[in-house]
Amino acid sequence: MTTVTPEPTDQPIPTQVLDGAVEAYPRDRLYVMTAVFLAVVTVVEIATYVWPDLPVWSWGGDTNAGIITVLLLLMAVKFFTVAYIFMHLRFDKPLLSRVFYMGLVLAVGVYLMVLFAFRLFWEGGHESGPQGVPFPSAGPQGPPAG
Amino acid sequence: MAITEPRPLALPSGEGEFTVEHPLGVFERPKPRGGWRSWLTTVDHKKVGIMYGAAALFFLLVAGSEALLIRMQLWSPRGTLLSADAYNQVFTMHGTTAVFLVVMPIGAAFMNYLVPLQVGARDVAFPRLNAFSFWVFLMGGIFLNSSWFLGGAADGGWFNYAPNNGVLYSPTHGIDFWNIGLILTGIASLVGSINLIVTILNMRAPGMSLMKMPIFTWMALVTQFLILFAIPVLTSAQFLLLFDRLFDANFFNVAKGADPLLWQHLFWIFGHPEVYLMILPAFGLVSEMLPVFSRKPIFGYPFIVFSGVAIGFMGWGVWAHHMFVSGIGPISVTTFSLTTMFIAVPTGVKILNWTATMWGGKLRFTSPMLFSIGLVTMFTIGGLSGVSHSIAPADTQQTDTYYIVAHFHYVLFGGAFFGFMGAMYFYWPKVFGYMLDEKWGKANFWLLLIGFNLTFAPMHVLGLHGMSRRIYTYDSGYGFDLWNKVATIGAFTIAASVLLFIINIFRSKAKARQLPPPGPDPWDARTIEWMVPSPVPAYNFDPIPTVTRVDDFWYRKYGETEDGRLVRVAATEDVVQKAEGDHDVHLPSPSYWPLVTAVGLPIIGYGLLYTWWLCLIGGLITVAGIYGWALEPPDDPDAAHGDDHGPDEPAADEAPASEAGTGEDAVDKEPETVG
Amino acid sequence: MAEAIAHHRELMAERDAHAEHAHIEHDTNTGISNTKLAMWLFLGSECLLFGGLITTYLLYKNPLEGPTPEEIFDIPFTSTSSFVLLMSSLTMVLAVSAIERGDHHRLRVWLTATALLGGTFIAGQVYEFTVFYNEGLGFTTSRFSSAFYTLTGFHGVHVTVGIIMLVSLILLSLRGHLPEHRSETVEIVGLYWHFVDVVWILIFAVVYLIP
C-alpha cells in the first residue's frame, strides 16, 4: 500500500477575492442574464392573463387560439432556455441532448396522439365516451346527435 | 484529516463479514466471500443475472401451474374445477406472472449476465444499483403473489381495464396488490434500464464501436430504451388507479365525467412496447446462436441492427390496435391499423436475415440450434396471425376470442420462450462450467415443440369458431369440446417438457464430475464472451481485449482464404484467456444497502393497504438504506488494488484523473496478437 | 468507538484521495461520465411520467361539479411562486459554478438559497392547496380536482426530494466531503433541480394560464 495523501478538501478562500466574483467569472454573468430573460418572459406570460384583449394575442377570439399559441410559444422558449443554458446542454456533448430529446419528442408525440384520440382539440365527437355522459372536451351537452 | 506518513490502513480484515456496529454510513462493506450471504450482498452482474434467472424459473413454475389450472377447468364444458371468480384470478395472475415475472426477468437475466461480457467490461456501470434492481423485482414479485394469501388475487385480466379495476367492481385488495407489485417491478426495470444503457454506451472495450457490438447487445440496448420510456407511462396509469382505489379520486369515475378509456390508452402505450421488449432480447440471443451453428456470420448485420431499432421506434405508434373495438372511432382505428401493418416489415426483415444466415451454412443441430429454429418458425406463425389482426375489420371478429390467445402465445411462448430456452442450453456451460446433456436437451425441445403446438394451434380454430377468452367455461354444442381437450393435453405435454429441463439440470450437474470441463469455448463461438474461462471468473476479462471487428473472437481463431474458405489460424487454447495466474483486479465491493433499501418498499406497499404505520416503517427503512448506500465507504481499499490501471505512485495520487487514465491505457489497451 | 470513527475518517480520506481514479471515474466511450448520462436518461424517462399526468389533466380540466379552474386559481399568487422557483434555478447554477472554481463557501451559500427558495415554493403550494380546499376543492370533489392535485402534488413531491438532496449536499460540504473534484455530484443534483423547474414551467403555462 502506498502513501495516501488526501487532496485538500476544503480550503477557505479569502472573502476579499470573492467580492465581485459573480462579475469576474464570465459564466456566472451569462446565468444571471439568462435568469433576467426568463423573468421577463414570465412577465409577458402573466400579461396574457392580466390583459387578455391585447391585439397581439386576442386574434383567436372565442377559441383563445391567440393566447394559447403565445403561451405555448413562451413556455417553449423558457423550457429550452433552461435546458440549454442552466442544464448545460449547449456546452455538453450532443449525446445528452439527443437522449433527452428522445424522451421529450416521444412524450409529446405519444400524448398528442392520445389527446387527438380523445378529440380534445375540436368540439363534438360522438364516438368516444359513453353515450349520454358529457364528453371531456365538450363540456356539458345533451345526448349526442345521430 | 491528513494522513502524512506511509503506512497500511488498519482494517479489520478477515474478522467475519459484518463487523463493528457503527452509526449510519460507517458500516464496513462486507467482505466478498462464498456462501449464501455473498449472494445477498453481491453486486456482481453475473450473480445478479443468475438470481434473475433462478427467480424467473421459479415464477415459471407458478405461471405454468396457473396455466394448467386454466386448461383443466376448460377441459370440458361447464367445468367445475374453478369458480368464475377463481378462474378470473387465475388467468389474471397467469398473464401477469408470465409477462412481468417470467419473460421480463429471463431477459434481464441474460442481459445482466451477458452485456458486460459482450462489451468487454468488468461489470455494469452501477453495480449496487443493479443489485437493487434485482431485489426490488423480487420484492415486487413476492408482494404481487402474496395476494393469494391475503384475500384473493387480482381478477381483472393482466391489463385490468377501468372501470372494472375500481373498488366498486373489484372490492378485494387483489388489484391493489397487482398495482403496487407492478409499481415495484417497474422501479426495478427502470433503474436497470438506466444501468444497462450507460454500460453499453460508456463501457465498451477499446475498439468496439457501436457497429461492432454483438447483435444481442444491440437488441439489449433497444430493449432498455423501450423500458426507459414505456415504464413511466404505466407508472402514471398505476398511480391514477392507486389514487382512485385508495383515496377515492375520480380518474376513472364515470359519474364525475371521467373516461375509462384513459386507462386503456395509458396501459397500451406501455403495453405495446412491452411486448417488443419481451421479444427483442430473444431475437438478440437467436442472432447469436444461429451464426454459431451455421458457421456463418449473421446475414446483414446492419439490417438486423436497424430493424431492431425500427421496431423500437415503430412500437410506439401502434398501441391502439389493442383497442379496435373500444369505441375510439374510425379515424383512430384506421390510423392504428395502418401503423400496425407497417410494423410487420422490420420483423420480416429479421426473419429473412436469420433464414439467409442458415442458408448455405454448415448446420449443426444442437439443442440451442433447434430452439433457435423453433423461434424463427413459431414466431413467423404468430407474426402471420398478427398481421391478420392488424386488419381492423377482421380483428373486430377476432378480438376477445381464442384466436388472439393463439397469436400472442405463438409470438411470446413460441418466440421469446423458445429463444430463451435455446440460450439456456447455449450459455449454460459459460455460466456454470458444465454442459447440459444434449440428448435430454433434444428431447426437451421436441416435447416442447409438440406440446406447444398441440396447445395453441387449436386455439386458432377455437377463436375463429367464436370461443370467447377470459370466461371460465363454455357450453357444449359449439364445436369447442375436442380442441379444448387437445389443448389441455398439449399443456400437460409442455409441463412434462419443463420437467425434463429441470431434470436435465440436475442430471448434467451430477454427471459433470465425470466429464472433462467444457472449457471457455465449447461451441466454437464468435463473440468475445467465449474468450473467458467457464464459469466466468469474477473479474471477467484479464486483460480487457481490444476489439477490431464484429465477431472479433471468431477472427482470432479463423481467417479466410482468397476464395472465401475458412481456415484455422490459431488454436482455441491459444486465443482464450486463462483462469490461472495472478489476477490482481479491483472489483466493486459487495454491499447490503441495496437489499436494505429494497426491503423497505414492499413494506410501504403493505402499509398503503393496511396501516399507515407500515408506510412509516417502510419509508424509514428505505430512506436509511439510501443514506447508508450513499455514505458507505468506497470500494474496499484493502482488496487487491490492481492492474486494470497503473500502480498508485505518490505522484499519481495528486494528479488529476487523466493520469490514471493513461495508466489504464498502458495496461488494457495494449494490442493483442492473434495466434 | 473513537477508533472506529477515526477508521471511518481514514476511509473517507482515502476515498476522496482516490476519487479521481476510483472506479467511478474511468474513461468512458462517449466522454460523458456515467452518472451524468444516467441522470439525463432518467430525466428523459420523467418526461413520459409527467406527460401522462399532464395529459390526464388536459382531459379532465372541465369539472362537472365543484369549482372550476377559472373560479379557483389565484394567478397573481401562483405567478409569484413561479418566479421563486425560477430564481432557484439561477441560484442552483451559481452553486455549481462556485464549486467548479473551488469556492466552497459560495457553494453552500447558493445551495442554501436554492433550498430556501424551493422551500418557499413548497410552502406556497401548501398554502394554495389549503385555500383551495377551504373553497370547496377537495381531492375527490371532481375529475378536475383529482387531476390537478395529482399533477401538482407529484411535482411538489419531486421538489421536496430535491430539497432533501440539496440539504444533504450542504451537510456533506460542511463536513468536508464535497471537494472540488466531486463537483459533478452538485451538477447532477442541479440537473434534477432544473428539470423540476422546467416541469413547473410547463405546468404553470398549461394548467394555470392557458384558458
User: Does A8 reside within a domain?
Assistant: no
Q: pLDDT tens digits for C163-183?
A: 999 999 999 999 988 888 888
Kindly state whether residues A41 and A78 are assigned to the same domain. Answer: yes
pLDDT digits (tens, 9 = 90+) for B101-143: 999 999 999 999 999 999 999 999 999 999 999 999 999 999 9
Residues of A in contact with B3 (CB under 8 A): 4-6
The CA distance from A100 to A92, in Å, is 12
Given this model, what pLDDT does residue C87 score?
Answer: 95
pLDDT of B626 above 70: yes
Mapped onto helix, strand or coil, the DSSP state of residue B559 is strand
Whether A5 is covered by a domain: the verdict is no
In a domain, B28, yes or no: no
* Assigned domain for A56 exists: yes
Give domain status of residue B543, yes or no. yes
Q: Which residues of A touch C195 (CB under 8 A)?
A: 87
* Distance from C-alpha of C159 to C-alpha of C171, rounded to nearest angstrom: 18
pLDDT at res. A26: 64
Within an 8 Å CB–CB cutoff, is residue C148 touching chain B? no
Phi/psi-derived region of residue B321, left when phi > 0, alpha when psi is between -120 and 50, beta in every other case: alpha
At C106-128, the pLDDT tens digits run 999 999 999 999 999 999 999 99
| Nearest CB neighbour to A3, from listed B269, B327, B650 | B650
Cβ(A137)–Cβ(A118) below 8 Å: yes
Residue A106 falls within a domain, yes or no?
yes
What letters, b where the CB count within 10 A reaches 16 and e where it falls short, cover B501-527?
beebbeebeeebeeeeebebbbbebbb
Q: Is residue A113 part of a domain?
A: yes
Q: Do A112 and A78 fall into the same domain?
A: no
CA distance A88 to A82: 9
With a CB cutoff of 8 Å and minimum separation 6, the contacts of B9 are A1, A4, B637, B638, C10, C11, C14
Composition of chain B by helix, strand, coil, percent to 5: 65, 0, 35
CA dist B275 and B273 (Å) reads 5
C-alpha cell at B357: 444466415
Please tell me which residue of chain A has the smallest CA distance to B649: A2
| Cis status of the peptide bond prior to B543, with omega within 30 of 0 | yes
Shared-domain flag, residues A24 and A46: yes
Which pLDDT score is estimated for C2?
Answer: 65
Instruction: Note the pLDDT of residue B32.
Output: 63
- pLDDT tens profile B586-615: 788 899 999 999 999 999 999 999 999 999
Secondary-structure percent of chain C, ordered helix, strand, coil, rounded to 5: 80, 0, 20
Average pLDDT, chain B: 88
Which pLDDT score, from 0 to 100, does residue A63 have? 75
Q: Is residue B372 part of a domain?
A: yes
Residues B263 and B165: beta-carbon distance below 8 Å: yes
In this structure, chain C runs to a length of: 211
CB C92 within 8 A of CB C114: yes
pLDDT tens per residue, range C52-83: 999 999 999 999 999 999 999 999 999 999 99
CB of A32 less than 8 A from some CB of C: yes
Burial status of residue C176 (CB atoms within 10 A of its CB: 0-12, 13-18, 19 or more): middle
* 0.90 surpassed by complex ipTM: no
**Which residue of A10, A11, A93, A106 is the best one to mutate when testing the B interface, meaning the one whose CB has the most B CBs within 10 A?**
A106
**Which residues of chain B make contact with A7, given a CB cutoff of 8 A?**
654
Of B32 and B666, the structure prediction assigns the larger pLDDT to B32
Q: How far is CA B12 from CA B281, C4, C50, in A?
A: 44, 10, 48
Burial of B148 from C-beta contacts in 10 A (0-12 / 13-18 / 19+): middle
Residue of A nearest to B254 (CA): A133
Longest dimension (CA), chain A: 86
- The minimum CA-CA distance between C22 and chain B, rounded to whole Å, is 8
Q: Are C64 and A129 in contact (CB under 8 A)?
A: no
Predicted local confidence at residue C15, as pLDDT: 53
Q: Which residues contact B519 (CB under 8 A, 6 or more apart)?
A: B533, B534, B572, B576
Assess whether A101 and A74 both reside in one domain.
Answer: no
Given a cut of 80, whether residue B253 has pLDDT beyond it is yes
Give domain status of residue B641, yes or no: no
Q: Does A100 share its domain with A59?
A: no
Domain identity same for A79 and A98: no
Bridge partners, residue B566, by sequence: B560
Size of interface A-B (CB pairs under 8 A): 76
- Positive or negative torsion for Cα B564, B570, B575, B579: positive
Asked if B232 lies within 8 A of C46 by C-beta distance, the reply is yes
Give residue B570's pLDDT.
86
The mean per-residue pLDDT over the stretch B271-282 comes to: 96
Q: Into how many domains does chain A fold?
A: 2
| Identity at B320, one-letter amino acid code | A
In which domain, by residue range, is B578 found? 40-583
For chain B, what percent of residues have pLDDT higher than 70?
A: 89
Find, in chain B, the residue whose alpha carbon is nearest to that of A130.
B259
The radius of gyration of chain B's CA atoms, rounded to the nearest angstrom, is 26
Ordered domains of chain C (ranges, CATH): 35-209 (1.20.120.80)
The whole-angstrom distance between C183's CA and the closest CA on chain B is: 14
Q: With bands split at pLDDT 50, 70 and 90, how would you rate the model's confidence at B15?
A: very low
Q: Give domain status of residue B81, yes or no.
A: yes
Side chain identity, residue C174: L
Cβ neighbours of B257 in A, within 8 Å: 133-134, 136
Residue A53 lies in a domain: yes
A102 in contact with B at a CB cutoff of 8 Å? yes
Contact status, residue C170 vs residue C99, Cβ threshold 8 Å: no
Which of A39-48, B270-279, B414-423, C7-16 is least confident? C7-16
DSSP H or E segment with residue C34:
helix C34-60
Let me know whether A74 and A104 are in one domain.
no
B127-145 helix and B45-73 helix, angle to the nearest 10 degrees:
20
Reading phi first (left if > 0) and then psi (alpha if -120 to 50, else beta), residue B251 is in alpha
State which residue of chain C sits closest to A49, comparing Cα positions: C209
Decide if B327 and A128 are in contact by the 8 Å CB cutoff.
yes
Kindly state the greatest CA–CA separation across chain C.
Answer: 67
For the residues C28-42, what does the mean pLDDT come to?
Answer: 92
Non-local (6+) Cβ contacts of B64 within 8 A are B494, B495, B498
Across chain A, what does the average pLDDT equal?
Answer: 73
Q: What is the mean pLDDT of chain C?
A: 89
Q: How confident is the model at residue B184 (pLDDT cuts 50, 70, 90)?
A: very high
The shortest CB-CB distance from B256 to any of C15, C44, C64 is to C64
With CB atoms and an 8 Å threshold, state whether C37 touches A35. no
DSSP letter (8 states) at residue B322: G
The pTM (predicted TM-score) of the whole model is 0.87
Q: How far is B185 from chain A (nearest CA, A)?
A: 21
The strand pairing partners of B559, in sequence order, are: B567
C chain contacts of residue B232, beta-carbon cutoff 8 Å? 45-46, 48-49, 52
My answer on whether A85 and A30 are in the same domain is yes
Report chain A residues whose CB lies below 8 A from the CB of C206.
75
Q: For chain C, give the percent of residues with pLDDT over 90.
A: 76
Q: Least CB-CB distance to C97: which of A7, A27, A115?
A: A27
| Chain B CB within 8 Å of residue A113 CB | yes
CA distance B633 to C16: 10
Mean pLDDT score, B15-30: 47
A106 closest CB neighbour out of B2, B7, B229 = B229
Same domain membership, residue A87 and residue A37: yes
Q: Which of B9-13, B158-162, B455-459 has the lowest mean pLDDT?
A: B9-13
Domain that holds residue A74: 18-92
Residue B380's domain is classified under what CATH number? 1.20.210.10
In a domain, B658, yes or no: no
Q: What pLDDT is attached to residue A25? A: 55
How many whole angstroms separate alpha carbon B553 and alpha carbon B117? 12
- Rounded to whole angstroms, the Cα distance separating C161 from B188 reads 19
User: CA C121, C124, C129 angle in degrees (round to 5)?
Assistant: 130
Q: What is the pLDDT of residue A123?
A: 59
Beta-strand relationship, B566-568 and B558-560: antiparallel
Distances in whole angstroms, Cα of residue B36 to Cα of each of B15, B19, B625:
17, 17, 21
**Cβ-nearest to A25 among C59, C97, C179:** C97
Residues of B with CB under 8 A from a CB of A: 1-9, 201, 225, 228-229, 233, 254, 257, 259, 261-262, 265-266, 269, 316-317, 320, 327-330, 332, 637, 641, 647-650, 653-654
- Using one digit for the tens of pLDDT, what is the confidence trace for B198-228? 999 999 999 999 999 999 999 999 999 999 9
B568: which strand partners?
Answer: B558
The span from the CA of B193 to the CA of A108, in Å, is 21
What pLDDT does A19 receive?
Answer: 39
Q: Are A96 and C105 within 8 A, CB to CB?
A: no
Per-residue pLDDT tens digits for B303-362:
999 999 999 999 999 999 999 999 888 999 999 999 999 999 999 999 999 999 999 999
Tell me: do A83 and A124 sit in the same domain: no
Percent of chain A as helix, strand, coil, to the nearest 5:
55, 0, 45
The confidence band for A66, taking pLDDT boundaries of 50, 70 and 90, is confident
Residue B543: closest CA among B589, B588, B585: B585
DSSP state of B146: G
pLDDT digits (tens, 9 = 90+) for B492-513: 999 999 999 999 999 999 999 8
Of all residues in chain B, the percent with pLDDT exceeding 90 is: 81
DSSP class of residue A8 equals: P
Which of B8, B259, B327 comes nearest A136 by C-beta? B259
How far apart CA B168 and CA B166 sit, in angstroms, is 5
Q: Determine, for residues C21 and B645 on separate chains, whether the beta-carbon distance falls below 8 Å.
A: yes
Number of domains in chain B: 1
pLDDT of residue B665: 35
Note whether residue A10 is domain-resident: no
Query: C58, A115: Cβ pair inside 8 Å?
Result: yes
Chains touching chain A at 3 or more Cβ pairs under 8 angstroms? Answer: B, C
Q: Which of A42, A67, A103 sits opposite C48 (nearest CB)?
A: A103
Question: Is A2 among the domain residues?
Answer: no
